[in-house]
Amino acid sequence: MDNVSKIKDRLSVVDVISGYLKLQKAGANFKASCPFHNEKTPSFFISPERQTWKCFGCSKGGSIFDFVMEMEGVEFPEALRILAAKAGIELEKFDSTIKDSKDRLYQICESSARFFEKQLSYSGAGRRAIEYLKSRGLQETTMAKFRLGFAPDTWDALSGYLRNSGFTEKEIVDAGVVVKRQPTTNNQQQGSTTGFVRA
Ligand SMILES: [Zn+2]
């Protein structure tokens, strides 16, 4: 069993989130005031049956891993370490934390989506893009719901971000979020491994 499954086996969504938020029972579920947007009436719900959480105010939701990433402001490898410690599971080494490559590819796609979302919300160019989207009639809640992002005008920002987040170059290329720069000569075997371009 891979580490992600082991952790999900040992930690319930209620255990994890109750470590951060004050929960109230709501039928078979639990509710709380959402920590990710300002609200007076709780619209953050936890389903013990599905082992998921969802905020109906800001549309954020997901697994315990998504929660810890959002709450602690960290990427997947760090969330994995936090939850493994909580579950009492020993991870041997940072690079070998997730053997299951499918999980790894999923997390690269998720981290990429978050990267572009952050660019839209926090970069200067991204803020201008938000103004443009608003001029087209889109509201910020709609942008968040459909996870719209902004791609900065550089060719290596995403690959750098993903490598800093602990993913290897091979994994990043395998996930299909960046492609290797094609060689300019006709020697197809020796593509540059340092040159990434955004897909
Ligand atoms: Zn919310």
Beta bridge mates, 30: 25, 46
Query: What is the 70 CA–ligand 1 centroid distance (Å)?
Result: 11
Query: What is the 32 CA–ligand 1 centroid distance (Å)?
Result: 10
Structure-block tokens of residue 147: 């996870």
Query: What is the 34 CA–ligand 1 centroid distance (Å)?
Result: 5
Report pTM: 0.52
Residue 105 has a pLDDT of: 86
Q: Which CATH architecture has domain 100-199?
A: Alpha-Beta Complex (3.90)
What is the residue extent of each domain of the chain? 1-99, 100-199
Dist CA 120 CA 115 (whole Å): 9
Residue 25 has a pLDDT of: 96
Helical axes 64-72 vs 3-10, angle rounded to 10°: 90
Furthest CA-CA distance within the chain: 65
Query: What is the 28 CA–ligand 1 centroid distance (Å)?
Result: 20
Q: Which CATH superfamily is domain 1-99 in?
A: Zinc finger, CHC2-typedomain (3.90.580.10)
Query: What is the 18 CA–ligand 1 centroid distance (Å)?
Result: 16
Query: What is the 37 CA–ligand 1 centroid distance (Å)?
Result: 5
Query: What is the 58 CA–ligand 1 centroid distance (Å)?
Result: 4
Query: What is the 123 CA–ligand 1 centroid distance (Å)?
Result: 22
Q: How far is CA 40 from the centre of its chain?
A: 26
Q: CB within 5 A of ion ligand 1: which residues?
A: 34, 36-37, 55, 57-58
Dist CA 38 CA 57 (whole Å): 9
Asked if residue 11 lies in contact with residue 84, where contact means CB atoms within 8 angstroms, the answer is no
- CATH fold match for the domains 1-99 and 100-199: no
Is the pLDDT confidence value at 187 over 50? no
Residue type, position 8, single letter: K
CB-based contacts of 111, cutoff 8 Å, min separation 6? 75, 76, 161, 162, 165, 167
| DSSP assignment string, 118-149 | HHHHHSHHHHHHHHHHHHTT--HHHHHHTT--
Is the pLDDT confidence value at 195 over 50? no
Query: What is the 169 CA–ligand 1 centroid distance (Å)?
Result: 34
Give the tens place of pLDDT for each residue, 108-151. Answer: 998 999 899 989 988 889 989 999 999 999 988 888 888 899 99
Give the tens place of pLDDT for each residue, 8-57. Answer: 999 999 999 999 999 999 999 999 999 999 999 999 999 999 999 999 99
Query: What is the 156 CA–ligand 1 centroid distance (Å)?
Result: 32
Which range (11-25, 82-96, 107-121, 174-188) has the least confidence? 174-188
Query: What is the 21 CA–ligand 1 centroid distance (Å)?
Result: 13
Higher-pLDDT residue of 177 and 186 is: 177
β-strands 61-62, 52-55: how paired? Answer: antiparallel
